[in-house]
Amino acid sequence: MSRPIRRGCVHLVGAGPGDVELLTLRAAAVLQAADIVFHDRLVSPGVLARAAAPATLVDVGHRAGSPGRDIPALAQRMAEHARRGEVVVRLKGGDPFVFGRGTEELIALAALDVACEVVPGVSSALAGPAAAGIPATHRGLAGSVVIVSGHSRESGPDWTRLRGDTTVVLMGSARLDAICAEMVAAGWDPGTPAAVVVNATTAGQRSVVGRLDGIARLAGRLNPGAPSILVVGAVAALAVRPGARP
């Protein structure tokens, strides 16, 4: 029997990687009870459709090139609805605590003395590669995984330090060429197997496999600008054929 869904509470929910069937049971139940849903821009329409029919949907997603998200202001908006006794859902892609800034929102809500529930989600960092037939770990081949944000910053990741048997780069579509070049410049073997998965777990999923020094060029044939995941490491060579998604 599922736990009761608390009113007057903000439910910080992971929407998963895109496929609506990868929502957790708790996430689906909370959405069905929602009065208002504050959602990220890239949450799939199928997931949003799981919200209760009368629920208000509010797009609060950050867009590249736009001013940064005002988390205190967003927390205040959610708090106002929670104080009215509503079921408030903050719906974030993947898992809220994997490069989702979920912790910052949780802290802001706690400062306003608002009750919160965290509903973890399936992270695209693992689900995306898996959907393309790429394991994050493999016995005798990869025993560690490093997950890195590919967002543009003044100083990029320290690729001499951020290296696992498998390295997964999220949110790197806009900088894919630069990221791969930075890795090679930091001493990574240019021939390391690499893969890019775009629109992971959705009907538009596509993937390509190659070498680190050529994967960005190959990925340009897919869907430039779509959400993508870069996987670098020997496991990338284990991928199923591109496009062979069941």
Nearest residue to 171 (alpha-carbon basis) of 193, 133, 200: 200
Residue type, 230: L
Ordered DSSP codes for 210-243? EETTTHHHHHTTS-TTS-EEEEESGGGGGPPPTT
Give burial (CB, 10 Å; 0-12/13-18/19+) of 53.
Answer: exposed
Cβ 143 vs Cβ 112: under 8 Å: no
Rounded to whole angstroms, the Cα distance separating 116 from 9 reads 5
Q: Write the pLDDT tens digit of every residue in 177-195.
A: 999 999 999 999 999 999 9
The pLDDT assigned to 225 comes to 75
Beta-sheet pairing, 87-92 with 9-14? parallel
Residue carrying the six token digits 């009907």: 203
Mean pLDDT of the chain: 91
H/E stretch holding 105: helix 102-111
Q: Write the pLDDT tens digit of every residue in 142-188.
A: 999 999 998 765 567 889 998 899 999 999 988 999 999 999 999 99
Stretch 43-67: mean pLDDT: 84
Tell me how crowded residue 111 is: count the other CB atoms within 10 A of its CB.
11
Residue carrying the six token digits 């579509």: 173
Q: Write the pLDDT tens digit of every residue in 81-129.
A: 999 999 999 999 999 999 989 999 999 999 999 999 999 999 999 999 9
The least confident of 50-54, 63-67, 100-104, 224-228 is 63-67
Asked whether the predicted pLDDT for residue 67 surpasses 80, the reply is no
Residue carrying the six token digits 């690729």: 159
